[in-house]
Amino acid sequence: MPFVAMAPAVTGTIASSSEYNKVVANVNQLNTTRTKYKMARATGSSSAVSTSVADLPGATVNVTTVETNTEVKVTAVFDIESTNTDIFVGTLVVNGGAAQNGEAHYTGAGGRATVTQQWTVTLPTAATHTLKLRTQKVGALGTMNIYGVHSCILVEGQGIT
């Protein structure tokens, strides 16, 4: 929606309702196009990472777009602890589809790390979209945990709510 042209202001005059409505339309347009952020923190203090792909509990964000082909930047933060050399894999899924290209990885014997990953995602329709983080470990040598209180998903984009 383009900005609405307004008449020049004249000192000492009162704006008409038509001019007032143009101001309101412009303010609403600015509000829908500014960058907004939505974040969800994973739940639970600690959960085991399995060799099967699983949703990271609580790390799901729903965003509504007002235009088609809206690009958003998604940042994931995974707090991982491992007792072995298994490989941690963190992925992003949009609207229940296949995992997006790009994965977060961690390998560490007896270590703990905060791993981040970013994706740029195009949301094709003006609708509500679900973005969620998933986890998996490759290998079964020992235990691997993810700490929910320090793990999250952050979505930022223009024109999202």
The model's pTM is 0.81
Is residue 111 in some structural domain? yes
Query: Hey, what amino acid is at 47?
Result: S
Is residue 97 in some structural domain? yes
pLDDT at 25: 67
Q: Which residues of the chain have pLDDT under 50?
A: none
- The pairing of strands 70-82 and 35-41 is unpaired
The boundaries of the domain holding residue 84 are 35-158
Residue 88 sits at φ, ψ, to 5 deg, of -85, 140
Is residue 1 in some structural domain? no
pLDDT at 45: 83
Is residue 6 in some structural domain? no
pLDDT at 51: 95
pLDDT at 59: 97
Is residue 68 in some structural domain? yes
Instruction: Indicate the number of domains in the chain.
Output: 1
Is residue 94 in some structural domain? yes
Q: Three-state secondary structure along 80-94? A: EEECCCCEEEEEEEE
Is residue 128 in some structural domain? yes
Residue 48: give its domain's CATH number: 2.60.120.1340
Is residue 18 in some structural domain? no
pLDDT at 31: 64
Question: CB within 8 A of 77, min separation 6: which ones?
Answer: 114, 115, 116, 150, 151, 152, 153, 154
| Distance from C-alpha of 145 to C-alpha of 105, rounded to nearest angstrom | 14
In what helix (H) or strand (E) does residue 56 lie, and over which residues does it extend? strand 54-64
